[in-house]
């Protein structure tokens, strides 16, 4: 049965609003429970995601799945929705350009509106800065949680940073996921703004 989120996904699959359309294999819209109370927002698809059409399916995604299961007791298909700031892979995994992020934002806004999660976990600088509308970096943003349109936003490191950085970043992400779990249980945001 079609859902509003599935309808938007079909619409996005043909999107040519920015130049990333020219180099992608396919649009990586998002995946998971369409009525999840927990939503993760990353940066953009990598090579594996571009090939399969699904977000966070490479090594970063496998690590994220493991940490979410261990710290929050959840799996991808169980109350979790995952999306990215840009839905098409930037060539050679370069950073998305501001105009690409801006062009793609309506798709993310539609996902936020339709999934309507209680808690949003932003993964890394791009998603955290975009949704919190700040230039403050993730290493300073994390540790606190923030209000976001009646929800709680929990910034944390991108799992790729954990793969690069090892034990220290891993412990930080684990601690942030515990904050997200507490927010799901009703804890209010720890800060009013970045």
Interface residue list for ligand SF4 (CB under 6 A)? 12, 15-18, 20-21, 27, 86-88, 100, 103-104, 107
Which CB, 17 or 51, lies closer to ligand SF4? 17
Which CB, 18 or 177, lies closer to ligand SF4? 18
CB of 122 to ligand SF4, least distance (A): 18
Which CB, 45 or 79, lies closer to ligand SF4? 45
C-alpha 191: how far from chain center: 20
Which CB, 53 or 147, lies closer to ligand SF4? 53
CB of 93 to ligand SF4, least distance (A): 14
CB of 192 to ligand SF4, least distance (A): 31
CB of 29 to ligand SF4, least distance (A): 8
Which CB, 20 or 152, lies closer to ligand SF4? 20
DSSP readout, the chain?
A: ---HHHHHHHHHTT--SSGGGGT-SS----EE-TT-SEEEEES---HHHHHHT-SS-SHHHHHHHHHHHHHH---TTTTEEEEESSSSPPGGGPPPPHHHHHHHHHHHHHHHHHH--SEEEEESHHHHHHHHT----HHHHTTS-EEETTEEEEEE--HHHHHHHTHHHHHHHHHHHHHHHHHHTTPPPS-S--
């Amino acid at each position: 049965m079609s859902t509003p989120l599935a309808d938007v996904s079909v619409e996005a699959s043909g999107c040519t609003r920015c130049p990333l359309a020219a180099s992608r294999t396919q649009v990586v819209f998002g995946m998971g429970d369409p009525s999840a109370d927990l939503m993760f927002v990353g940066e953009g698809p990598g090579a594996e995601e571009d090939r399969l059409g699904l977000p966070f399916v490479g090594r970063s995604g496998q690590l994220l799945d493991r940490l979410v299961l261990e710290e929050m007791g959840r799996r991808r298909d169980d109350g979790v929705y995952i999306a990215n700031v840009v839905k098409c892979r930037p060539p050679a995994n370069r950073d998305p350009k501001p105009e690409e992020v801006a062009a793609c934002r309506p798709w993310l806004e539609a996902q936020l509106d339709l999934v309507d999660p209680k808690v949003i976990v932003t993964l890394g600088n791009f998603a955290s800065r975009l949704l919190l509308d700040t230039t403050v970096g993730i290493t300073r943003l994390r540790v606190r949680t923030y209000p976001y349109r009646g929800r709680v936003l929990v910034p944390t490191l991108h799992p790729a940073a954990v793969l690069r950085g090892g034990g220290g970043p891993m412990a930080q992400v684990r601690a942030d996921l515990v904050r997200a779990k507490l927010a799901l249980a009703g804890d209010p945001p720890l800060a009013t703004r970045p």
